[in-house]
Amino acid sequence: MILIFLYFVYFAVLALMIVSNWLVFTKAGRPGWAAIIPIYNTYILLKVAGKPGWWLIGLFVPLVDLIIWILIYDGLAKNFGHGVGFTVGLIFLPFIFLPILAFGRAEYIGKAKEIKGQQEEGKAGRPSRRWPLYAIAAFILVAIVAIVVVLLQPASSPESGKVTVSIEAPATVSAGGEFVATVNISGVKNFDSAVYDVTYDPMVLEVVAINGGTVNNTEVPVDMWDFIPSGEQGKVRILNNIPGTPGVSGLGYLSEIRFKVVGASGDTSGLGFVPQEVSMADNAAKDILATWVGDSITVQ
């Protein structure tokens, strides 16, 4: 229902702008029907604003088009007897100020302004009163450039900040027994690979095996795993990689870690990640930022 309403508003505004352009063109002695002809209507608007027709080419150049539109609205306002304030209105609220030109009492004085301007040409020492307009144009240009620069910076995966990787283990485990802890993942998009270090207390637990997992029914194999340093319990490094797929999205688990309990009753051990030794990438080789959450167990 909301979408239908938005479509109604869009087409209503579009119709208002077409009618307004038609009337503005007519007031300026131009054919009103030009308002419904794409590209040609912009050419006519340039002529009504007193700008060269070849400026139409500049409207196809990014950033340059913004400056040209500002100058078009400036010329349009002047040729209907209005000042800088009306120009600013046309720039930011054209769907309000253009109908004011069309349905209001303003008359087109473009030709008279042109003649007067030619008569006054050559007068020096008279500062332009339209400097606020050029200041606005400069500000908009700088803002657009700044936004473009920010958008072109290397970005992380679109799901950055929404992805969670967590270790899930039983709260209590039996002395001398074994248990499995899973490295779960949720909210990931286009996952391709990951490497992470898992730490634990080697006086309480020992890793005996590590197996791959699944995400959204897609197998996530463990390419390799090893102790860090090699052969010493206490920290294990795990590498996941999904070969030959365009990435997988959703939730599941990356690996299963099988532990043997070597501690005594009452001992505890944390199961955590090393923040400096965790990373994930999507199928475009971009980093996937995530929140990494550990767990803990108590021997009973």
Cβ-contact 277, 217 below 8 angstroms? no
Please enumerate in sequence order all residues whose Cβ is within 8 A of that of 254, keeping only pairs 6 or more positions apart, or say none.
165, 183, 184, 185, 194, 212, 213, 215, 220, 238, 240
Is the Cα torsion angle 149, 153, 159, 164 positive or negative in sign?
negative
pTM of the model: 0.49
pLDDT the model gives residue 146: 64
pLDDT the model gives residue 150: 64
Q: Scanning the structure block, which residue is given the tokens 């007031």?
A: 27
Cβ-contact 212, 239 below 8 angstroms? no
Q: Scanning the structure block, which residue is given the tokens 């307004």?
A: 20
Q: Which domains does the chain have, with CATH numbers?
A: 2-117+130-151 (no CATH), 163-299 (2.60.40.680)
pLDDT the model gives residue 294: 96
pLDDT the model gives residue 285: 87
Give the Cα-Cα-Cα angle 93, 39, 26 (nearest 5 degrees): 65
pLDDT the model gives residue 115: 43
Determine how many CB atoms are found less than 10 A away from the CB of residue 235. Answer: 18
**H helical segments located in 178-228:** none
User: In which element (H, E) is residue 50 found?
Assistant: none
Q: Alpha-carbon distance 133 to 141, whole Å?
A: 12
pLDDT the model gives residue 243: 84
Q: Which amino acid is at 114?
A: E
Torsion region of 235: left, alpha or beta (phi above 0 gives left; psi -120 to 50 gives alpha): beta
DSSP-derived pairing of the beta strands 163-168 and 290-293 = parallel
pLDDT tens-place string over residues 99-135? 999 899 889 987 655 544 444 444 444 445 555 555 5
- 3-class secondary structure, 33: helix
pLDDT the model gives residue 2: 73
- 260: tokens are 């043997």
Closest-CA residue to 215 (of 181, 243, 242, 180): 242
* Sequence-ordered strand ranges (E) for 130-286: 163-168, 172-173, 178-199, 205-215, 218-220, 222-227, 235-241, 248-261, 268-282
CA dihedral 237, 242, 243, 245 (to 10 degrees): -160
Q: Alpha-carbon distance 33 to 21, whole Å?
A: 9
Cα 222 to chain center, whole Å?
A: 33
pLDDT the model gives residue 121: 45
Determine how many CB atoms are found less than 10 A away from the CB of residue 32. Answer: 17
Cβ-contact 206, 173 below 8 angstroms? no
Closest-CA residue to 180 (of 239, 259, 245, 249): 259
| Residues of the chain where predicted confidence (pLDDT) is lower than 70 | 1, 111-146, 148-161
Q: Alpha-carbon distance 293 to 166, whole Å?
A: 4
Is the Cα torsion angle 26, 30, 33, 38 positive or negative in sign?
negative
